[in-house]
Structure 1
Amino acid sequence: MIRRTGPVRPDWERTIEEQGLGFHRYVAQGDDGRPYWDESAYYSFTMAEVLGLEDTVTELHRMCLNAVDHVVREGRFGDYGIPERWWEPIAESWRRRDRHLYGRFDLCYDGRSPAKLLEYNADTPTSLVESAVVQWFWKEDTHPRADQWNSLHEALIDRWRELLPSGGLLHLAYSGADETGEDALTVGYMADVAAQAGLEVELLTMEDIGSDGHAFYDLAERRIEGLFKLYPWEWIVREPFGPLAVARQPKEPWVEPLWKMLLSNKALLAILWELYPGHPNLLPAYFDGPREMTAYAVKPLLGREGASMRLVQPHEVVETPGGYGAEGHVFQQLCPLPDFDGWRPVLGAWVVGDEPAGLGIRETRGLITGDTASFVPHLIED
């Protein structure tokens, strides 16, 4: 794993905007005024490193599904801060094995030591377009003979065919409150791959979804029988329409399924460490405090984009602002991100269905990867 630098393509802004990544102009600027997409740097991997990461993702995914089964069997929903009224619907969703689409593992990796799981974005992961499309075309333009860990596009098409083999109408929704445009971009791309899988697609915002108290409808009063929603379940169950959304799941499923609440919550980190203590791809994590750890991260169970975190080290404490934490915290051993010429990458390793499918990298100068971190592409070069 090597960080390399090089020239950017002429008129790269227009190029990536034509490929769909328009919001890079509007999000907060990263370190040193960097744009969100930065192709002046990239990470180079060997095929052996990528094959090892694929094995890690496969193993982590298996362990996560076992963790869901454990939580359901042992009734440990309280560790997640989930209100009791939702425990049985989540359990039923898992027992039915409601079909899932995708997720993104965030890993700490330096190319030498085993990759360590930082967290799992299993319900509403973003950075999909830049991972699946933009960095692929960058590779084709600049390093056409190199390879890339990137089968996301094809894997998503195949997965939609598995989820809805008979075709039909799929609604896809995002929150109109998102000001960056990232959610709309992600849902638009998901609509594109679903259409390539043979589905009829209809985009709308969550705010545009209506209900008669028995079912959900779009603005044209068409019944919503299947929905891809880039809107987390922990928000949905707090909405007035939450009970109906949960009740309709067996017959009119929403993707991701309800049981993903047990994977998108950082309580998963402590559950995994209980089930697999000492596993080389896990970090010690606890519910009740740091225990023996002298350097650790305090993470809110439902935090996002590095918000409301506290990094504790013997010589300093670093905190980030945010409104998360009322639901509880998990204490995870600090895994300092590796330093590549002053930049610290987090590897976002994608899984589609039950298979590893690609990689996206975000980097910053700090120890916490927040919403101002830049996305940089990667190659496989042997």
Structure 2
Amino acid sequence: MRRVRGTPRANWQRTIADQGLVFGSPGREVDGRPRPYWDESVHYTFDLDEILALEAQVEVLHTMCLHAAEQVVLTERFADFGLPQWSWGPITESWRRNDPYVYGRFDLRYDGSGPAKLLEYNADTPTSLLEAAIVQWHWLTDAHSGDDQWNSLHEKLVERWGEIRKNLPTSDLHFSWSSADASGEDNVTTAYMQETAAEAGFDTVALPIEEIGWDTELERFVDLAEAPIDAIFKLYPWEWALDDDFGKQVVGSLPQTMWIEPLWKALLSNKALLAVLWEMYPGHPNLLPAYIDDPHELTEYIRKPKLGREGANMTIVGAGLETATGGVYGEEGYVYQLLDPLPDFDGMRPVLGAWIVGDAAAGLGIRETPGLITDDSSTFVPHRIPATGD
């Protein structure tokens, strides 16, 4: 794994905008200057052996996470996850029905030596998908056409939609996001997912989640044309839905209306998962020690809110690296994870976003920041696997 400098393509800004990348907050340089969200003046290179090892580790982590969900359901350990008690039964039912799932993103610490370490699992509403699947692939073919990339995301998404077709009531599939996201990222990400489903043969309809209707006579969700919603992909976190009356309608609509990602993913998208994994697989080479609501023996750790997003409300303790971020999370409780700082490459600290689609490792996206916490001011940079080992 190396960080390499290169020359951006001519008119790269227009190119990535034409590919849909019209969002993204500016990142930061080491000296604090603004930096584009997408930066192709640098990229990372990997040996093929590294990528093959990472693929295998991601699929192991995926299997471990499914076992952890089973364990939480069997032991009824929902209180540790800060989820409302009324949702526990429906989560159990969703898991036992094997409600279908599509994708997720593991955020990993990796420096090119030793196994990758799981930092968190974005199992419900992962973003940076268009960048990883489409934009960096076109960069590769334009700038390094003889090289390869860990990236079969598009093909695997289309294949996965085809696989779960038999588990859905019809070929009609709705796609929804929150119009409250002013950045446009959720809208674009949802539109890309809609494109992959259409390629798999679904008839798709898009609408913001705020415009989903409720037919009081039929007691079911409908779209703007008052057509029933039988299955819907939502880029809207389960913990947000479960926090209001809309969520109770959503949960009550299952399984007549099938929601993707499924309700049981509320367990895997929760930082409490990190502690459950450590309990089940202590000492596993891809895990860091983690505990719920108490640091136990840890003297250097990062405290993460169970339902936190985008690096909010995190606190780092130890090694002279004390820092904290603001936000609105934490009331639900915290997880304490051993501090293993992201590696330093030219003053930047990359986090590897490794994608799983269905049960298969599918690709890699890299975000980097000069800080210890990867937040919404990080920068996305592409990667390649050199054909000649350069």
Contact 2:26 2:35 (8 Å CA) reproduced = no
Aligned with 2:343 (options 338, 341, 361): 338
**CA–CA separation in structure 2 for the residues paired with 1:45 and 1:341:** 17
1:181 aligns with: 184
Alpha-carbon distance in 2 for matches of 1:20, 1:337: 29
Give 1:40's aligned residue. 41
1:289, distance to aligned residue in structure 2 (A) = 1.6
Residue type of the alignment partner of 1:128: L
The structure 1 residue matched to 2:212, chosen from 205, 209, 213, is 209
1:65 is matched with which residue?
Answer: 66
Among 192, 196, 209, the alignment partner of 2:195 is 192
Residues 271 and 305, structure 2, Cα contact 8 Å, conserved in 1 = yes
Provide the secondary structure at the position in 2 that maps to 1:23.
Answer: coil
Which of the residues 215, 218, 221 maps onto 2:223? 218
Equivalent residue for 2:303? 298
**Structure 2: which amino acid aligns with 1:231?**
Y
Point out where structure 1 has 5 or more consecutive residues left out of the alignment.
none
Structure 2, gaps ≥5 residues long: none
Give the Å deviation of 1:301.
0.2
- Quote how far apart the aligned CAs of 1:101 are: 0.5
Q: How does 1:27-176 map to 2 (within 5 A)?
A: 27-31=25-29, 32-165=33-166, 168-176=171-179
Task: Name the CA distance, whole Å, in 2 between partners of 1:345 and 1:316.
Answer: 17
Does residue 261 (structure 1) correspond to residue 266 (structure 2)? The answer is yes
Tell me the distance in 2 between the aligned counterparts of 1:298 and 1:153. Answer: 35
User: Is the 2:153–2:357 contact (alpha carbons within 8 Å) kept by the matching residues of 1?
Assistant: yes
Matched-pair contact (CA < 8 Å) for 1:297–1:310: yes
CA drift at 1:260: 0.2
* Residue number among 315, 322, 327 corresponding to 1:322 in the alignment: 327
Q: Offset of 1:172 from its aligned partner?
A: 0.2
**C-alpha RMSD of matched pairs (Å):** 1.1
Deviation at 1:239, TM superposition (A): 2.5
Q: What do residues 261-303 of structure 1 show as CA deviations (whole Å, max 9, x unaligned)?
A: 1100000000000000000000000114212222100000000
Amino acid at match of 2:140: K
Deviation at 1:22, TM superposition (A): 0.9
Deviation at 1:248, TM superposition (A): 1.6
Per-residue CA distance 1:349-376 (angstroms, 9 max, x = gap): 0000011000000000110000010000
Q: What amino acid does structure 2 have at the position aligned with 1:259?
A: W
**What displacement does 1:222 show?**
1.0
In the other structure, the counterpart of 2:243 is 238
Equivalent residue for 1:229? 234
Tell me the CA shift for residue 316 of structure 1: 4.2
| Aligned partner of residue 279 in structure 1, secondary structure | coil
Conserved 8 A contact 1:294-1:314: no
Alignment deviations for residues 125-171 of structure 1 (CA, whole Å, 9 cap, x no partner): 00000000000000000000000000000000011111124862111
Could you tell me which of 374, 379, 383 is aligned with 1:378? 383
In structure 2, what residue type is equivalent to 1:75? E
TM, length-normalised to structure 2: 0.96
The one-letter code matched in structure 2 to 1:41 is: V
Q: Which residue type is aligned with residue 3 of structure 1?
A: R
CA positional deviation for 1:250: 1.5
For residues 260 and 288 of structure 1, the distance between their equivalents in structure 2, rounded to whole angstroms, comes to 21
Contact 1:301 1:327 in 2 (8 A): yes
Q: Structure 2 CA distance, aligned partners of 1:147 and 1:141?
A: 12
- Contact 1:363 1:369 (C-alpha < 8 Å) held by counterparts: yes
Is residue 247 of structure 1 aligned with residue 252 of structure 2? yes
Q: Distance in 2 between matches of 1:29 and 1:348?
A: 17
* Segment of structure 1 superposing worse, 237-246 or 276-285: 237-246
Q: Contact 1:6/1:40 (CA < 8 Å) preserved in 2?
A: yes
1:283 counterpart SS class = coil
Give the total of aligned pairs: 380
Counterparts of 1:60 and 1:333, CA distance in 2: 18
- CA separation in 2, counterparts of 1:34 and 1:28? 6
Q: Which residue of 2 aligns with 1:355?
A: 360
Partner Cα distance (2:321, 2:151) in 1: 38
Alpha-carbon deviation of 1:310? Answer: 0.2
Matching residue of 1:286 = 291
C-alpha deviation, 1:252, in angstroms: 1.6
Q: Distance in 1 between matches of 2:119 and 2:349?
A: 14
* TM-score (norm. length: structure 1): 0.98
Match of 2:4? 4
Q: Alpha-carbon deviation of 1:314?
A: 4.2
Please state how far the C-alpha of 1:212 moved relative to its aligned partner: 2.1
TM-superposed CA distance for 1:191, in Å, is 0.8
CA distance 1:370–1:261, shift in 2 (3 Å): same
Residues 28 and 370, structure 2, Cα contact 8 Å, conserved in 1? no
Is the CA contact 2:293–2:333 (under 8 Å) kept in the aligned structure 1?
no
- Offset of 1:28 from its aligned partner? 3.9
* Paired residues of 2:290 and 2:337 also in contact (CA < 8 A): yes
